[in-house]
Structure 1
Amino acid sequence: MKRRFDLAVLGADSLVGAALLELLAERRFPAGEVSALGLDAEEGANVEFAGHALPVDSASAFDFGQVQLAFLADDDPRLAAEAERAADAGCVVVDAGGTAWRDPEIPRVVAGINDAALAGFNERGIVAAPDRVLVPLLRVLAPVHGECPLRSVHVTAMIPVSDAGRPAFQDLARETTALLNARHIDRSHFKQQIAFNVHGQIGAVDGGGATERERRIGDDLRNLLGAPELSVSVHLVQVPLFYGYALTVDLLSDRPVDLEAVTRVLAASPGLDCRGPGDAGDCPSPVADAMASSSVQVARLRQSAGTHSAALWITADNIRCAAASNAVACAEVLISDYL
């Protein structure tokens, strides 16, 4: 009989939590008892799993000694503290929420890219992902870097409101309706209008003009590609989309970029949907192509500033693909190879 694992989902009532529960059911994950946990869930609140309603229980009152696995689905510091309590109780925690862990013993893993790092799970009992933007980006750049070593990467990432959770999601929904009906609303997350608008900065900047998240993405990209000398420029832009990343990427290699060879490598890479040149209607978009998909869409691969350079376009679902699917895939490797 296939071994089953009792598990808990911390932040089950979040957007990532819902996607995790959906994927666990779809992929027939060997789950035994499943516990849905939250912080401030209303009495009687529940979430759906495999066609059944699960009550949302208090994370702070939960006994993690009764489960073997826990998924962290939200980057709320209070839930991260509960995740550490779970790890201390002997439960293996897989973080899908994008928590910025400071502990260097917690491995950051993008499934299919650096699975070997999962072997370090027992140092702290926690496996994390890098920033969610890096999940689709690394799935594209890792095979490209293997084909033509990269010297520099410039990324402009358009970030949907769901990346910041329900309050930001609700701000866009309510403000869109209000503006179309000439009404005013008080925002709970954004400081300025988000509906029909674009913000060129997400978060405070440091002395060099970069935000902490942009700097962290650059550092983790170098580390996970094993390219400490790589020059990385990251610009995060807040856009009025509910779901889906859209990234424009410019690459510079140490040698001439063979576009046909790069296309073949990308087309053969699991989890990538690589499209050749076509008209505007064929270019994948976050809403029409990436939303609710676990695949990364790649298009518009072309030469840019010269023979050593290339540019491309990437879209991916920030909740399902970049967060939930990566976490479930990491957990599948853990139970197959280490637990």
Structure 2
Amino acid sequence: MQRRFDLAILGADSQIGTALLELLAERRFPAGEISALGRDAEAGASVEFAGHTLPIDEAAAFDFAQVQLAFLADDDPKLAAAAERAADAGCVVVDASGSVWRDPAIPRVVAGVNAEALAGFNERGIVAAPDRALVPLLKVLAPIHRRRPLQTVTLTVLVPVSDGGRLAFQDLARETTALLNARHHQRGHFAQQIAFNVHGQIGAVDGAGVGARERQLVEGLRDVLAAPTLAVSVHMLQAPLFYGYAMTVDLAAAETLTPQDVAGWLAGVDGVEIREAIEAADCPSPVVDAMTHASVQVARLRQGASAQSVALWLTADNIRCAAAANAVECAEILVRDYL
């Protein structure tokens, strides 16, 4: 009989929490009892799992000795603190939220890319991912880097508002409605108009003009690819999108690199789909394609500025694909090989 694991979902009422519960049911994860936890659980609040209603309990009062595995689905600091308490109680925590962990003992893992790093789960009891935007990107870059070690990566990322949490999401929804009705909306997250607009900077920048999350992407990309000298340039733009990443990616290697090479290496990679896009209507978009496909959609694969470079476009679901699915896949490996 297959062993079952009692689970806790920290932030079960978040968008990532909803996606996690859906995937755990779809993939028939060997779950026993599931505890849905929130930061400030309202009386009567609940979530759905496999046709059953789960009441949401307070994370702060939960006894994590009851469960063997927990998922962190919200980067709220109080929930992250509860995740650390869970790890201290002997529960293995898989972070799907994209929380920033400063502890070097916490492995950053993308399933299918560096799953061997999960072997270090027990040092701190927490398994995390690199920045959420890196999950779909690394699924594409890792198979290339294994065959032609990359020297430079130049990346532009269009970031949806759902990455910024509830207030950011509400700003776009309410401001869009307000502007269409010639009304004013007092924003709660963004410093400037987000509806029908694009921001060239996300958050404050350091003395070199680099944002904290841009720096995170650079460090995470080098870390997971084990390429400390990789030259990485990242520009993150805040787009007026509710969901879905979109990225332009330019890659260069020391040796000849062709679109045909890259297409061959990516063919058959789990979770990656190459799309032919002769007509503009065939090119995948974050709204139409990222949210309806479980895979990373790659298109406009073409020769770059030199014989050693290629350029491409990719889209991916930032909630289900980049966050929830990676966490569930990591948990599946943990329960199969380590727990």
| TM-score, reference length from structure 1 | 0.98
- Cα distance in 2 for partners of 1:72, 1:164 equals 16
- Displacement of 1:292: 4.5
| Conserved? CA contact 2:258–2:303, under 8 Å | no
Match of 1:308 in 2: 308
Q: 1:81-125 CA deviation, whole Å, 9 max, x = no partner?
A: 000000000100000000110000000000000010000000000
Q: Which aligned runs of 4 or more in structure 1 are off by greater than 6 angstroms?
A: none
Q: 1:229-286 CA deviation, whole Å, 9 max, x = no partner?
A: 1100111100000000000001111011132121011112111011234211111111
SS in 1 for 2:236: strand
Aligned positions of 1:169-318 closer than 5 A:
169-318=169-318
Match of 1:127 in 2: 127
| Conserved? CA contact 1:15–1:166, under 8 Å | no
Match of 2:153 in 1: 153
SS in 2 for 1:246: strand
- Cα distance in 1 for partners of 2:191, 2:8 equals 35
- Cα distance in 2 for partners of 1:42, 1:191 equals 30
Match of 1:115 in 2: 115
| Conserved? CA contact 1:10–1:73, under 8 Å | yes
- Displacement of 1:326: 0.2
- Cα distance in 1 for partners of 2:266, 2:274 equals 6
SS in 1 for 2:13: coil
- Cα distance in 1 for partners of 2:293, 2:337 equals 26
- Cα distance in 1 for partners of 2:192, 2:178 equals 14
Moved more, 90-99 or 268-277: 268-277
Structure 1 stretches of 5 or more lacking a match?
Answer: none
Q: Which one-letter code corresponds to 1:115 in the other structure?
A: A
| Conserved? CA contact 1:14–1:165, under 8 Å | no
Match of 2:323 in 1: 323
- Cα distance in 2 for partners of 1:314, 1:16 equals 21
Match of 1:62 in 2: 62
Match of 1:89 in 2: 89
1:162 aligns with 2:136: no
Match of 1:26 in 2: 26
SS in 2 for 1:234: strand
Q: Which one-letter code corresponds to 1:185 in the other structure?
A: H
| Conserved? CA contact 2:294–2:321, under 8 Å | yes
- Cα distance in 1 for partners of 2:168, 2:53 equals 26
Alignment RMSD (CA, Å): 0.9
SS in 2 for 1:47: strand
SS in 1 for 2:156: strand
SS in 2 for 1:270: coil
| Conserved? CA contact 1:292–1:320, under 8 Å | no
- Displacement of 1:3: 0.8
Tell me the matched-pair count.
339
Q: Which one-letter code corresponds to 1:45 in the other structure?
A: A
- Displacement of 1:164: 1.1
Q: Which one-letter code corresponds to 2:6 in the other structure?
A: D
| TM-score, reference length from structure 2 | 0.98
Structure 2 stretches of 5 or more lacking a match?
Answer: none
- Cα distance in 1 for partners of 2:237, 2:87 equals 35
- Displacement of 1:41: 2.5
Q: Which one-letter code corresponds to 2:264 in the other structure?
A: R
SS in 2 for 1:139: helix
- Displacement of 1:145: 1.0
